[in-house]
Amino acid sequence: MKIVVIGGTGLIGSQIVTRLGEHGHEAVAASPDTGVNTLTGEGLADVLVGADVVIDVSNSPSFEDAAVLDFFERSTGNLLAAEAAAGVGHHVALSVVGTERMADKGYFRAKSVQETLIRGFSVPYTIVHATQFYEFIKSIAALATDGDTVRLPPALFQPMAAEDVAKAVGRISVGAPVNGIVEIGGPEQFRMDELVRQALAARNDPRTVVTDPDAPYFGIYTVDDTTLVPADGALLGEVRFQDWLERQLATA
């Protein structure tokens, strides 16, 4: 099976390409680095020749509201049109758990627009809603830092390892389109403030985590115990946070 991975040279995409190749598929990494640009359409027709599946794990280079919205509107529109012309049978898009609950703001508005475009097009699809990645906990802390204080809400969330995201998306891509959403998440739930406190302590980071129910997530979003967790029946990863953290520390 030929599977084209848009964003295939990034954190998730590169792992998907490797895993699919190990299972005997022709996995092609497509990104501006490989001559494929979904914003301009450059290289799309050529890379999609003979493709059975397209996985889109690309992301906007800018998270500014207007820029990220423009990225997902143009990129997704160009990609879907090229897939239809090439006869692609399954479009898989990586999105975010909580998109529908925060669709009025910033990045999540852009992802909601992307999902609407996919649902309204002719190519059969599966949208994968993933929870936050362990790899971005450092960024969550950074954006919540003021001086030596990290102010975070005690909201529940269920982060997962990037390798588990890649594994799940790869498996979903070789199955039949569901023409709907599949949710994936980590094996454990945490309070956001507690997990960041644990991660900072493990790295001997001197910052103090302060629990603040009114503190925003990523400096923008108001969240509660229902915003960032998947519903019952979600596919769960295998890598526990403590095991992932110990591996990170060992290789630091």
Q: Which one-letter amino acid corresponds to residue 110? A: A
What value does the mean pLDDT take over residues 224-246? 96
> Residue 218's pLDDT is what?
86
Contacts of 204 by beta carbon, 8 Å cutoff, 6+ apart: none
The pLDDT of residue 95 is above 90: yes
Domain ranges within the chain, ordered by starting residue: 2-251
pLDDT tens digits, one per residue of 213-227: 999 998 888 899 999
Return d(Cα 110, Cα 66) in angstroms, integer.
9
Burial class (CB in 10 A: 0-12, 13-18, 19+), 185: buried
> Residue 102's pLDDT is what?
87
User: Any bridge partners for residue 27, and if so which?
Assistant: 3
Q: Residue holding tokens 């049978």?
A: 89
Q: Residue holding tokens 């295998």?
A: 238
State whether CATH 3.20.20.140 applies to domain 2-251.
no
What value does the mean pLDDT take over residues 82-91? 98
> Residue 103's pLDDT is what?
85
> Residue 63's pLDDT is what?
86
The pLDDT of residue 192 is above 90: yes
Q: Which one-letter amino acid corresponds to residue 194? A: E
What value does the mean pLDDT take over residues 2-6? 98
What value does the mean pLDDT take over residues 188-216? 96
> Residue 106's pLDDT is what?
87
Q: Residue 238 has what DSSP assignment? A: S
> Residue 174's pLDDT is what?
98
What value does the mean pLDDT take over residues 118-147? 96
pLDDT tens digits, one per residue of 49-75: 999 999 999 999 888 989 999 999 999
> Residue 73's pLDDT is what?
97
